Amino acid sequence: MTPQPDLFPGEVEVYQTPQATAEAAATAFAAAARQAVAARGAFHVALSGGSTPKLMYSALRELDVPWAQVHIYFSDERTVGPGDAQSNYHTAKVGLLDFVPIPPNQIHRMEGERDPAEAARDYAAVLPPQLDLVLLGMGDDGHTASLFPGTAGLELGGRVIANEVPQQHTWRLSFTFGEINAARERWLLVTGAAKAPVLAEIGRGEGEYPVRRVTGPVWFLDAAAAQHLPPT
């Protein structure tokens, strides 16, 4: 763990490359799964979209994970069908879920092809009382899940919402901050130099970026993303 100034929310781990970051997150995922299964008999985890999770999925396929006791959820989804290349579920399916022995009834996808409000309502009903882990990314604009700057979803309660994202000309399904912060753990996987300016502002306590509302996260960063963080 690399301690950061008090202004930076949560704990930070920095690795040299996106691949190393993803492998570290995969190793931590496997350990968290084993601990949850030992303590509670199951591991309830929400996956996210983005490039770093793709690398993590590949690494996870090779690790010791008690897949029979893993329950998969998603922190957000685009309003597309499950076979669409833009679907977070599809990315997880072709990168991980097709390769590991998770019972099909333990994979819970957001139904992005349906009416967003109805799909959000129904998805909230399938969530467990508390997730063990929510995996998240961060966009260049500081959004996380599908909680974008300036959108109504930033202020909505409940567990899962339909959030209109005008800057993307679309709607998204997303966990609320209430749901994200209710999980036992929250991890942010962020890589690439494009993320460095936002992370630098967060490190200085500046900016009203949505990601700042995630409480007590663990950040998995690569060196490019972390390059402008204040020295420890």
Q: Give the model confidence (pLDDT) of 203-219 as tens digits.
A: 888 889 999 999 999 99
Going by pLDDT thresholds of 50, 70 and 90, the confidence category of residue 61 is very high
In the prediction, which pLDDT does 223 show? 97
Query: pLDDT band at 5, cuts 50/70/90?
Result: very low
HSE-up of residue 121 (Cα within 13 Å, Cβ side): 5
The CA R_g of the chain, rounded to the nearest whole Å, is 17
147 secondary structure, DSSP code: B
Local structure of 100: helix, strand or coil? coil
| Pairing between β-strand 170-175 and β-strand 160-165 as defined by DSSP bridges | antiparallel
Where helices occur in 41-176 by DSSP H, the ranges are 51-60, 88-95, 116-126
Identify the H or E element spanning 46.
strand 43-47
Token reading at 122: 């129904």
Identify the residue whose tokens are 């793709």.
54
* pLDDT, tens digit (0-9, with 9 covering 90-100), for 138-191: 999 999 999 999 999 999 999 999 999 999 999 999 999 999 999 999 999 999
- Identify whether the C-beta of residue 46 lies closer than 8 Å to the C-beta of residue 183: yes
The span from the CA of 7 to the CA of 9, in Å, is: 6
Residue 213 DSSP one-character state: G
Domains of the chain: 12-222 (3.40.50.1360)
Q: Is the pLDDT of residue 86 over 90?
A: yes
Euclidean distance between CA atoms 104 and 72, whole angstroms = 10
Q: Quick check: 197 and 163 in contact, CB under 8 A? A: no
**Scanning the structure block, which residue is given the tokens 């890589």?**
191
Rounded-to-integer distance, Cα 7 and Cα 20, Å = 26
The span from the CA of 217 to the CA of 213, in Å, is 10
**Band (7; pLDDT cuts 50, 70, 90):** low
Residue listed under structure tokens 């601990």: 35
